[in-house]
Amino acid sequence: MNTRRTGTILDEIVAQKMVRLTLQKAKTPIAKLTEEAQSAPAPRDFLHALKEEGKVSLIAEVKKASPVKGILRDSFDPSQLSRAYQRAGASAISVITEQDFFLGSPDYLTQAHEAASLPILRKDFIFDPYQVYESRAIRADALLIIAGILEDSQLADLAALTAECGMTPLVEVHDEEEVGRAVDCDARVVGINNRNLKTMSVDISTTARLLPLLPKETTVVAESGIRSRDDMQLLESLGVDGALVGEAIMRAADVESMIRQLLGEEQRPLAAEQENRRTVEQEITPCSPAVHCSTALLPLVKICGITNLEDARAAVDCGADMLGFVFAPSARCVSPETVARITSALPRGITRVGVFVDAQLERVGEIAQMCNLDLAQLHGSETKDYARRLTIPFVKAFRAQDESVLSRIADFGADTFLLDSYHPDKPGGTGRKLDLTIAARASRLGRMILAGGLNPDNVAEAVIRANPYAVDVSSGVELSPGKKDHGKIRMFITEAKRCARR
């Protein structure tokens, strides 16, 4: 396939990419790749992640090397980096998959997708429809499309195909001419790259120069040269929606601290959580030969059934990773208006989960947008087709009456699922204990969130025996339905983390 020549390093990269693509097509026919793309989990909403009113959303990049700077980080683990990015408050993750000049890999993107629940942008040099299907098959939620290497018809066709596959096309531009071409192909999301590819110099004022040329409704991402909070504030003053940051984060000794500095937020953990961590570090003892104890954040902890801001803030202060809000009939049911007020007061980095039971798709989307939710937890009889049509990532809940639940989990094929105890009349929040033997087998099927009768007294045993990705508690830390016991929340989180796996 012919591409547009740029007279820059892009020509050399694209030429090498064509060689690799020829080999890849021989290895994996497009028919098989298309089938894999169609069977992939529903894409996460990248565009929604960039729409935070009055703020610049941060896209943190997983980037091993660059043609100019060489290796950026010796201790390079895409999974660990992605989890750190999410904890620190990034809105999305970018993964460079180009193999020869940036030392990337498609596997890095899949690893990032499995490690974090944020939308994932694939950054590569895309010029063939095969690469679009490949991107969806490896779990990309958005795809970088570089206007400079494509003819007009290629640009329009690849952007359209990307959208047809459920991903968000991010059209990258470098100058006025490319901005015009992006506008002509009706690009909804445009990335302005501040790097001059002829001189390789970076000037963040490129964003200020090109931004007025784009329609006001365009979602704009600034790329390259963003290194400090001052740079982020400049982008905020310009009205930019997102900032893609790679090198500054990858070179930082503490990537989480760097991200929080860019976002202008005080570094978590809060004072109370710091004291809690010191206690854990001092008193931690081996719990099982099969489990390595540490101060690692796995399993994640979700406090569900939040109904008021006081309890939400207490959970955050104690170190909760996720908060759950119930929108189904329940003693803990809360209105979208109340949840919107709560979530607007929460810091970044806290995953906001809406719990639904057989709700109408449109209603789930409306509530998710109104309440700024990150995940929809499906606790009813929702089907795979229903889940795929959601506009936000989801977690499917399964109730374990017996071992038949294992085949139901496998058949559904969700990346992340919640396993709860069975009650014939209630979908959740019953306080009934779950069979940990079944839970241990279920944990091999994907990222399992363990629920069902957990409390501060038994959560450590559950972590050791079932090896969950996350633990979920509601009634086990309550004074009464819908009202949390803050002391129990702290104890629960301490015990859950005490025997965490690395």
Q: Find the CATH number of the domain harbouring 365.
A: 3.20.20.70
Taking 50 as the pLDDT cut, the residues of the chain under it are 266-296, 428-430, 501-502
Same domain (yes/no): 205, 315: no
289 plus 149 within the same structural domain:
no
Q: What are φ and ψ of residue 189, in 5° steps? A: -125, 120
**Is residue 210 within 8 Å of residue 192, measured between CB atoms?**
yes
Instruction: Answer yes or no: do 158 and 221 share one domain.
Output: yes
For CA atoms 89, 365, 165, 28, give the dihedral sign: positive
| Contact (Cβ atoms closer than 8 angstroms) between residue 347 and residue 265 | yes
pLDDT of residue 283: 32
Residue 3 in domain: no
Q: Which residues pair with 146 in a beta bridge?
A: 172
Distances from the Cα of 97 to the Cαs of 105, 252, 378, in angstroms? 4, 21, 32
The pLDDT assigned to 278 comes to 33
Catalytic residue among 231, 241, 420, 435: 420
Helix H segments across 200-270?
205-210, 229-238, 247-250, 255-263
Q: What is the pLDDT of residues 226-267, one digit of tens each?
A: 999 989 999 998 999 999 999 999 999 999 999 999 999 844
Indicate whether 4 belongs to any domain. no
Q: Does residue 256 sit in the same domain as residue 319?
A: no
Q: pLDDT tens digit string along 447-470?
A: 899 998 899 999 999 998 888 989
SS3 150: coil
For residue 371, indicate whether it is catalytic: no
Looking at the structure, tell me whether residues 246 and 386 fall in a common domain.
no
Peptide bond into 468 cis (omega under 30): no
User: Quick check: is 473 in a domain?
Assistant: yes
From 304, 318, 371, 499, active-site residue: 304
Give me the number of domains the chain comprises. 2
User: Does residue 340 contact residue 364 with C-beta atoms inside 8 Å?
Assistant: no
Whether residue 128 lies in the annotated active site: no
Q: Are residues 153 and 297 in the same domain?
A: no
Mark whether 301 and 240 lie in a shared domain.
Answer: no
Query: Cβ distance 405 to 438 under 8 Å?
Result: yes
Q: Where a domain ends, among 244, 263, 282? A: 263
Coil, strand, or helix at residue 174? coil
CB 226 within 8 A of CB 232: yes
Question: Could you give the CA distance from residue 403 to residue 399 in angstroms, rounded to a whole number?
Answer: 10
Range of the domain at 377: 271-498
Q: How many residues does the chain have?
A: 502
